[in-house]
Amino acid sequence: MSENLETTELDRESKKKSDQSRLKARLRDLEFFTEVIPDGVVIINNLLIVEASNESAQSLLGFPEDSIGSSLEDLIEVPRLSNYVRKTAQQEPLEFTSPIQKDSTLEARLFNVDKDTKVIVVRDITTLNRLLTMRQSFVANVSHELRTPLTVVKGYLETMVDESAPDELRLSLISKLSAPVSRMESLVQDLLLLTQLESNPVPPEMDEINMNDVIRNACNEVQGLLAESDKISIVNDCDKPIKGIATELNSLCTNLISNAVRYSPDGADIEISWASLSDSKARLSVKDTGIGIAKEHIDRITERFYRVDMKDSRARGGTGLGLAIVKHVLRRHNSELEVKSRVNEGSLFYCDFEL
Ligand code: ADP
């Protein structure tokens, strides 16, 4: 009987030991997990005393390593955060400016674990906020761009159905409808192309493209924009093909060449060149002697809807998306756009490709 009792005691002891080592291993795992996650995790008690925090919390909130035992309020001076964590009711996440980096925005979420313990999870939402703002301003820009031609079409249509308006005027408006409708069509086409460039993955196998053919096609496409006195010359100094996507390279050339035409006064002198730089590299360049671009605008002209002169660009039939398309096409072909320009002297746009 006493032997039996001793065995049970021993069993209990060994079970306790194995439970303890399992618990320790679990704690180590937990510690490891909280260290690897990018979100900051802070555990506090009811008096806002820090009981634990991970490395991300230290770097996001500027906590010292030995923050355990200190009051949250002493560690960070963000009264809104202190008020937020004091409340016990379920709350929306709190957005606040980072206490250590004034241009960063953090978001805190509070979880009441039990009546004595709370967990604060903090993450950096600066990029997320920036993307949200970019999306909002993009939608606002598109709506604004569409509103102008739509208002024109609406005005014409109102006059056309107005029986009191002279017949001659009503008839003359039919032909005027095509300009704003074409404008909306170009805008929608450019938007669709831009979306495709952003969302479609680059095909694993690119086609062999002869850039001289692409340049010739693009020149044919811009014929309608040319004044009689405009001159386009093509220098062809490379016969090797490149790996690429024909439709995208066609958009690239059409956009660069049509810009050269549109931003030059009548009598434009445009030079397009496709030339070898070495055995493995060739350069596409489009040079004009047009209005040029002031230095302070050059870094921004590939942004969507950025124009040096909004009215002027619209009058020249621009959508404000051409160079954004060019930038994306080049990125998908491992290249980038370079621009050299002088006001009233002209511009040079060029990009290099692997052969
Ligand atoms: P847009 O449709 O307005 O031409 P882009 O994205 O093609 O839009 O170009 C952005 C802006 O860059 C233009 O509005 C214009 O101000 C400037 N730009 C582009 N190409 C030229 C050029 N060849 N000469 C002068 N300015 C140019």
Q: Which residues contact 55 (CB under 8 A, 6 or more apart)?
A: 35
Residues 219-224: contacts with CB under 8 Å, at least 24 apart: 219/257, 219/272, 221/250, 221/254, 221/258, 222/254, 222/257, 222/258, 222/261
Q: The domain spanning residue 248 has which CATH number?
A: 3.30.565.10
Q: Please report the pLDDT score of residue 3 as a whole number.
A: 60
Alpha carbon distances (Å) from 264 to 227, 258, 300, 351:
10, 10, 20, 21
- Residue 270 inside a domain? The answer is yes
- Residue 8 inside a domain? The answer is yes
Q: Which among 176, 175, 186, 172 is positioned nearest to 152, based on CA atoms?
A: 176
Domain end, chosen from 78, 94, 127, is at: 127
Please indicate, yes or no, whether residues 209 and 347 belong to a single structural domain of this protein.
Answer: yes
Instruction: Tell me the pLDDT tens digit for each residue of 288-325.
Output: 999 999 999 999 999 999 999 887 777 777 889 999 99
- Residue 139 inside a domain? The answer is no
Q: Which among 91, 97, 46, 54 is positioned nearest to 76, based on CA atoms?
A: 97
Q: The domain spanning residue 90 has which CATH number?
A: 3.30.450.20
The rounded Å distance from CA 151 to ligand 1 centre is 25
Q: Please report the pLDDT score of residue 30 as a whole number.
A: 72
Please indicate, yes or no, whether residues 350 and 206 belong to a single structural domain of this protein.
Answer: yes
Please indicate, yes or no, whether residues 239 and 346 belong to a single structural domain of this protein.
Answer: yes
Q: Please report the pLDDT score of residue 124 as a whole number.
A: 96
The rounded Å distance from CA 301 to ligand 1 centre is 7
- The whole-model pTM stands at 0.76
Q: Which residues line ligand 1 (CB under 6 A)?
A: 255, 259-260, 263, 288, 290-293, 301, 306-308, 313, 318-324, 347
Residue 93 CA to its chain's centroid (Å): 25
Q: Please report the pLDDT score of residue 311 as a whole number.
A: 79
> Counting atoms of ligand 1 from 1, which one is nearest the CA of 323?
6
Residue range(s) defining the domain that contains residue 342: 201-354
The rounded Å distance from CA 298 to ligand 1 centre is 10
Q: Give the full edge-to-edge strand order of the sheet including 50-53.
A: 50-53, 40-45, 117-124, 105-112, 94-97
The rounded Å distance from CA 29 to ligand 1 centre is 56
Confidence of residue 21 (pLDDT cuts 50, 70, 90): confident
pLDDT over 90, % of the chain: 76
The rounded Å distance from CA 50 to ligand 1 centre is 56
Q: Bigger pLDDT: 23 or 93? A: 93
Q: Please report the pLDDT score of residue 34 as a whole number.
A: 73
Which residue has the least CA distance to atom 16 on ligand 1? 308
For a mutational test of ligand 1's pocket, the pick from 256, 263, 316, 329, i.e. the residue with the most ligand atoms closer than 8 A to its C-beta, is 263
**Segment 321-349 mean pLDDT:** 97
- Residue 76 inside a domain? The answer is yes
Torsional sign, CA 286, 292, 297, 298: positive
Please indicate, yes or no, whether residues 206 and 342 belong to a single structural domain of this protein.
Answer: yes
SS3 211: helix
SS3 102: coil
The rounded Å distance from CA 165 to ligand 1 centre is 40
The rounded Å distance from CA 216 to ligand 1 centre is 22
Q: Which two three-digit tokens encode residue 182?
A: 């074409």
Question: What are the φ/ψ torsions at residue 96 (nearest 5 degrees)?
Answer: -150, 160
- Provide the mean pLDDT of the chain: 92
Q: Please report the pLDDT score of residue 93 as a whole number.
A: 95
Q: Are strands 50-53 and 94-97 parallel, antiparallel or unpaired?
A: unpaired
Please indicate, yes or no, whether residues 23 and 111 belong to a single structural domain of this protein.
Answer: yes
Q: Please report the pLDDT score of residue 316 as a whole number.
A: 79
**Segment 219-224 mean pLDDT:** 94
Please indicate, yes or no, whether residues 96 and 237 belong to a single structural domain of this protein.
Answer: no
Does position 212 have pLDDT exceeding 90, yes or no? yes
Please indicate, yes or no, whether residues 236 and 323 belong to a single structural domain of this protein.
Answer: yes
For a mutational test of ligand 1's pocket, the pick from 225, 293, 300, i.e. the residue with the most ligand atoms closer than 8 A to its C-beta, is 293
Which residue has the least CA distance to atom 19 on ligand 1? 259
CA R_g for the chain: 32
Confidence of residue 2 (pLDDT cuts 50, 70, 90): low
Residue 53 CA to its chain's centroid (Å): 33
Q: What is the DSSP letter of 227?
A: -
- Residue 153 inside a domain? The answer is no
Confidence of residue 176 (pLDDT cuts 50, 70, 90): very high
Does position 260 have pLDDT exceeding 90, yes or no? yes
- Residue 315 inside a domain? The answer is yes
Burial of 61 (0-12, 13-18, 19+ CB in 10 A): buried
Which residue has the least CA distance to atom 7 on ligand 1? 322
Please indicate, yes or no, whether residues 213 and 120 belong to a single structural domain of this protein.
Answer: no
The rounded Å distance from CA 79 to ligand 1 centre is 48
**Segment 69-85 mean pLDDT:** 92
- Residue 239 inside a domain? The answer is yes
Q: Which residues contact 218 (CB under 8 A, 6 or more apart)?
A: 250, 253, 254, 257
For a mutational test of ligand 1's pocket, the pick from 285, 289, 313, 321, i.e. the residue with the most ligand atoms closer than 8 A to its C-beta, is 313
> Counting atoms of ligand 1 from 1, which one is nearest the CA of 321?
6
Domain end, chosen from 127, 154, 189, is at: 127
Domain end, chosen from 98, 127, 156, is at: 127
Confidence of residue 35 (pLDDT cuts 50, 70, 90): confident
Please indicate, yes or no, whether residues 238 and 324 belong to a single structural domain of this protein.
Answer: yes
Please indicate, yes or no, whether residues 231 and 350 belong to a single structural domain of this protein.
Answer: yes
pLDDT over 70, % of the chain: 98
The rounded Å distance from CA 89 to ligand 1 centre is 54
Does position 1 have pLDDT exceeding 60, yes or no? no
- Residue 165 inside a domain? The answer is no
Structural domain count of the chain: 2
Instruction: Tell me the pLDDT tens digit for each residue of 113-137.
Output: 888 899 999 999 999 999 999 999 9
> Counting atoms of ligand 1 from 1, which one is nearest the CA of 318?
2
Give Dmax (Cα) for the chain. 120
**Segment 338-343 mean pLDDT:** 98
Please indicate, yes or no, whether residues 110 and 251 belong to a single structural domain of this protein.
Answer: no
- Among the ranges given (5-19, 197-211, 247-261), the one the predictor scored with the smallest mean pLDDT: 5-19
Does position 189 have pLDDT exceeding 70, yes or no? yes
